Structure 1
């Protein structure tokens, strides 16, 4: 790149599969950002693609989302400056978990709902090992990439339906999307480099928050630009319903009731 202001655009945001994501509209959004901005807030970050744009533009970037699995993307790609997952980290994540009996939520709750038993067991074992990573940003990358791997495997990329295993046995659907029958581990290893390569330092102290925006706003100041893209009221885009599995996996709840056919957490 010839100019410093363009350097960060050499880093590519990993393509999301997220309802309402503005990934394909970033060039249009960028046209309306004033030139004198130095600090920006993405208040409802979701996939974090807009926050990533702010970071590319050298802004001190604050991202926020009520759902922790989205916050993990922010920690991994917005707040993180240089930490990546190494081969040694991957070996640790794959090793047999020492505390396996404490991590059986996916197997016990979601086997034959979204995944076959072998895949659910792999997810539990992987999740048990995430806390063993010695760095918050490594943990965030692990959450981010394994969560993205799950959405790649499920038809429509969300968990608001009960047809995952039905579609995975449909030859015509498999022709259109082979990820339906690929192991999650294989998908994880394929997309891992894309996330590692998206980590960069824009020389600012960026932050990712996991808060109700009404609680966060009184605690921050000196924001030049605030971007608000809240959930769409009265629409079908129920993010807690569609992405309940990713939030359950990240939080690894043991005190929730899992209801209806999709085993959504309640409350």
Structure 2
């Protein structure tokens, strides 16, 4: 039985995980790709019709929920996770195809040079930067699922080409470990990543939605399941996603509506405050979010043991809105970077299940 033939009811963990294996992996801080199996088991036990993925990030959990038969509402405050959700969660059957991919990767339709000039000397060579401008000359003529797929493939291309997948440094040669991804041009990457996204498209029925905005503004009436994977506030520093992925955010929007900070070496986009990223504000933010989704059938929260607040505090906050709270620790290793010398830290990834 294929995933498309499977009844549209939550469950069938093995079939869902087979589908998730096709998901194009984006290097993303806190991605839950490696935790798909325990999450799928929790979701299957919870059951229900509508699932909210309130901090969709890499998109893999929204994709998993769709594969399990939930009607998914995906949300993130960044634009490129929203494009990914539109491409492979909301979209049921549209694909780019070889002909359209070749057009996007072909000659430019105009003489735009925003990326080539703004990021001169940064991240990619001149040919790659010109390609990004050229690709957008075609993407601007697309809409709907085709546009979302093209943006997602372009974002994934840039993330794969950039060492470590983050844009917090200007000397990429420091992290050049010889991987093939670093040798391919962005034009070559785009053809490969577009094919990956086309292969990831599957039909699970209509009714899915993707939103780009603050979780506090997300209104879904009595969902069966709410999955929360907010930024994990570290004991020191912050969990600033815009700082790490500003280029991907800009690329997904062609920097429209984004405020570039010209004085920064990396040409960062101005930070958008989120209370989840800081130890002094995260506890109150979690409490408000739990109250916001108190009417959901089940609240599932991912959180890390090396973050604040601690598991006991989170459990106590959840018990204010749900009578039953189960805490499932899952051994997990986070990699700080993707290069060969990257350090890894073993932690417990807590899965809180509140009913």
TM-score (norm 1): 0.89
The 5 Å alignment of 1:201-216 reads 201-216=203-218
Which of 160, 169, 184 aligns to 1:161? It is 169
Q: Secondary structure of the residue that 1:62 maps to in structure 2? A: strand
The 5 Å alignment of 1:66-215 reads 66-100=77-111, 103-133=112-142, 135-168=143-176, 173-174=177-178, 177-215=179-217
* Cα gap change, 1:22 to 1:9, in 2 (>3 Å): closer
**In structure 2, distance between residues paired with 1:109 and 1:84:** 31
Please say if residues 8 and 202 of structure 1, whose CA atoms lie closer than 8 Å, have aligned partners that are also in contact.
no
* Cα gap change, 1:190 to 1:95, in 2 (>3 Å): closer
**In structure 2, distance between residues paired with 1:117 and 1:105:** 12
Query: Could you tell me how far 1:132 is from its partner in structure 2?
Result: 1.6
User: 1:38 matched to which residue of 2?
Assistant: 49
Please say if residues 109 and 134 of structure 2, whose CA atoms lie closer than 8 Å, have aligned partners that are also in contact.
no
Q: Which runs of 5+ in 2 are unaligned?
A: 272-355
Q: Secondary structure of the residue that 2:52 maps to in structure 1? A: strand
| Larger radius of gyration between Structure 1 and Structure 2 | 2
User: 1:264 matched to which residue of 2?
Assistant: 268
Higher strand share: 2
Aligned pairs, number: 256
Does 233-242 or 114-123 show the bigger shift? 233-242
Query: Could you tell me how far 1:62 is from its partner in structure 2?
Result: 0.5
Q: Deviation string for 1:182-232 (max 9, x for gaps)?
A: 101112222322211111111241001111111113xx2131100111112
1:65 counterpart = 2:76: yes
Does 201-210 or 68-77 show the bigger shift? 201-210
User: 2:333 matched to which residue of 1?
Assistant: none
Please say if residues 232 and 239 of structure 2, whose CA atoms lie closer than 8 Å, have aligned partners that are also in contact.
yes
User: 2:39 matched to which residue of 1?
Assistant: 29
Query: Could you tell me how far 1:85 is from its partner in structure 2?
Result: 0.4
Q: Secondary structure of the residue that 2:218 maps to in structure 1? A: helix
**In structure 1, distance between residues paired with 2:195 and 2:265:** 35
**In structure 2, distance between residues paired with 1:249 and 1:16:** 15
TM-score (norm 2): 0.68
1:239 counterpart = 2:241: yes
Q: Which runs of 5+ in 1 are unaligned?
A: none
* Cα gap change, 1:191 to 1:251, in 2 (>3 Å): closer
User: 2:348 matched to which residue of 1?
Assistant: none
Which protein has greater RCO, CA pairs closer than 8 Å, 6+ apart? 1
Query: Could you tell me how far 1:180 is from its partner in structure 2?
Result: 1.4
Please say if residues 113 and 165 of structure 1, whose CA atoms lie closer than 8 Å, have aligned partners that are also in contact.
no
User: 2:221 matched to which residue of 1?
Assistant: 221
Please say if residues 83 and 151 of structure 2, whose CA atoms lie closer than 8 Å, have aligned partners that are also in contact.
yes
Q: Deviation string for 1:68-120 (max 9, x for gaps)?
A: 111000100110010000222123313433332xx322111212110111110
Query: Could you tell me how far 1:8 is from its partner in structure 2?
Result: 5.3
Query: Could you tell me how far 1:42 is from its partner in structure 2?
Result: 0.2
Please say if residues 151 and 158 of structure 1, whose CA atoms lie closer than 8 Å, have aligned partners that are also in contact.
yes
Query: Could you tell me how far 1:166 is from its partner in structure 2?
Result: 4.8
Q: Secondary structure of the residue that 1:208 maps to in structure 2? A: strand
Higher helix share: 1
Please say if residues 16 and 64 of structure 2, whose CA atoms lie closer than 8 Å, have aligned partners that are also in contact.
no
Please report the RMSD computed on the Cα atoms of aligned residues, expressed in angstroms. 2.0
Please say if residues 64 and 211 of structure 1, whose CA atoms lie closer than 8 Å, have aligned partners that are also in contact.
yes
Q: Secondary structure of the residue that 1:70 maps to in structure 2? A: helix
Query: Could you tell me how far 1:9 is from its partner in structure 2?
Result: 4.9
